[in-house]
Structures are given as structure tokens and as C-alpha cells.
Amino acid sequence: MSISASMVKELRERTGAGMMECKKALVDSDGNLDSAIELLRTKGQAKAEKKAKRIAAEGRITIKSDTEHTVILEINSETDFVANDSNFINYAESVAIAILENEIVDLESLSKIDLTTGTNIENARTQLISKIGENISIRRFDKIKQCDNMGVYTHGARIGAVVCLTGGDEETSKDVAMHVAASNPICINNEGVPEEMVSREERIFRDQAASSGKPPEIINKMIQGRMKKFFKEVTLLGQPFIKNPDITVNELLRESEAEIISFKRYEVGEGIEKKEENFADEVMAQIKGNES
């Protein structure tokens, strides 16, 4: 199978491995990206698989609340200069308020909602594009029903988190939201980790441990220990609390007599690649260098 430069580029960005290692892994896995990632990790050549592609798109995260709901919204622009423009900020705020005030099921229905300016959201977006000169898109939103303690935290306008707690207090809910923003858990507890992710990690750990030459019972203990560490790293309740790493988030909630119901975390541009680099030239230059 022919391995393209763009395939090498994506694998390199997701693993941090070198270009030639990425190309060889793709060749050995017949161009299957997930298999190549697993192969690199098994060999210890991947620094860490990123949960998303390189974050490159700009924009802002906007969070708005009323007595019944909290809305978290991401709107993208091409540059951070535009993301900080007052016209862009005002548009994002108005869209978030419109979501609060209306029953919205998806982005298509959102685009038809009228703003206080008398035009609908989609027309206002195209007008803003003409005025600013950059492409602007509403990417996603969540509308969350108010709970006992709704915690909200934003890091500038690039990261936003909303958590729902039962029990506890306002300070606890805000601290947990801050932790979610900083530590980026994938789910609340072990049960929430996708089965395919668990199976993949176990398989990688087993392949790594098998090369140690240790007896099977020792290998099983090694895998159990590594999986325990994995769950602590990716689950909210298992992670060390960002403000006090001596305790976990689970211990924090117990001390506060609180329980987490749900959380949402948005980061500007996660999973979107805005800029296409001339990676083919870079790959060819390194290949020629190795041949000389």
C-alpha cells in the first residue's frame, strides 16, 4: 500500500514519534492508523497518543446561565485576533442567550432563531463574516439543566467546563469545574471508560510486558498495576485534585458530602486542524537525507 505524506503527518502528530518510525509503522500495518498507533506504543516509540488532532482552530468558549439552564458554546474563527474582536464576542454572547431562551435541538434549528437585532443567527453570522473578513462557524453547544450545585469555570475564552453536583457547596462545584478544565478527564469513573479503549490499553500493556521475559503470573500483576494507573489518569474521580494532589477528586467530593452527576469540557479547536503545512516536502527531505 502507498503511504502518503498526509498519513505520516497525522500519525506523527498523534503519537510524537519520528517521521521514519511513523512511515515504517504505517507500512507494517498496511496503512491502518489505529494499528500503527498501537504498534508504535507497543515498541515504546510513541510518546503519548493524543486524544485529538492538533488544536489549531481559533475562537472562543462562551458560558451563559439563567435560573433553569447553563449553556456552553464554541464558536470558531480563523485567528485569535478575530476571536477577541468585540463584534465576534457580542455575536457569541447573543447566540448563547438565544440558546438559553429557546428550545434548540441541533445547529440547524439554532441557525433559524432570531436575535434581538431582528435577523436570525445564520444571517447574522454571514453578515459578520463579510464585516470581519474571516470564516466564522458555530461548532457545538450543550444546554444543561440546573442542578443542586452548578460549577462553571473558564480559562480565558479557550477552555470552559461545567459540572453538576448534588450536595456540596458553590466553592466545591467551582473547584471541580476548574479541575475538569485543567486535567481533561474523559469520564467520571472506571465504568465510563469505553470498552474499546480499555481493551486496547490492556493489549498494549500485555505486549509490552511479554517482552520482559517474566513469568505469566508476574505479567498479569504488572498489567493490573498499569491498568489501575491508567484508570486514575483518565477518570475524574481517580485523578489527583488539581489544587491538592495529595487527595483525589473522589476524596474531595466525599469530604464535601457531594456527588458529581455530569460534566462538560470544551476546548477551542480540539479535533480541528486549521492550517495545512507542506509536510510532503519535509518528509521527502528527510528520506533523501537518510539515503545520502
Q: For 103-151, write each residue's pLDDT tens digit.
A: 998 999 999 999 988 899 999 998 998 888 888 999 999 999 999 999 9
Question: Element (H or E) spanning 200, and its range?
Answer: helix 195-210
Confidence of residue 51 (pLDDT cuts 50, 70, 90): very low
Q: In whole angstroms, what is the distance from residue 258 CA to residue 252 CA?
A: 8
pLDDT of residue 281: 53
pLDDT in tens, 201-253: 989 888 888 777 788 888 888 889 999 999 999 999 999 999 999 999 999 99
Give residue 279's pLDDT band: very low, low, confident or very high (50, 70, 90): very low
**Class in CATH terms, 1-53+275-292:** mainly alpha
| 240, 246, 251, 257 alpha-carbon torsion, rounded to 10° | -120
Segments in 72-133 forming alpha helices (H): 80-83, 86-101, 107-111, 121-132
**Rounded to an integer, what distance in angstroms lies between the CA atom of residue 259 and that of residue 241?**
15
pTM tops 0.95, yes or no: no
Distance of CA 146 to the CA centre of its chain: 24
Q: Which parts of the chain are beta strand (E)? A: 58-65, 69-77, 137-145, 149-155, 159-167, 240-241, 244-248, 258-267
Residue pair 291/284 in contact (Cβ under 8 Å)? The answer is: no
**Tally: H helices and E strands in the chain:** 12, 8
**Pick from 200, 213, 264: which is nearest to 236 by CA?**
264
pLDDT of residue 140: 96
CATH code for the part of the protein at 55-146:
3.30.479.20
- Residue 265 C-beta-side C-alpha neighbours within 13 Å: 18
Report domain extents, the chain: 1-53+275-292, 55-146
Q: Which residue has the cell 448563547?
A: 96
Q: Between 221 and 62, whose confidence is greater?
A: 62
The amino acid at residue 79 is: T
Strands in 58-65's sheet, in edge-to-edge order, are 58-65, 69-77, 137-145
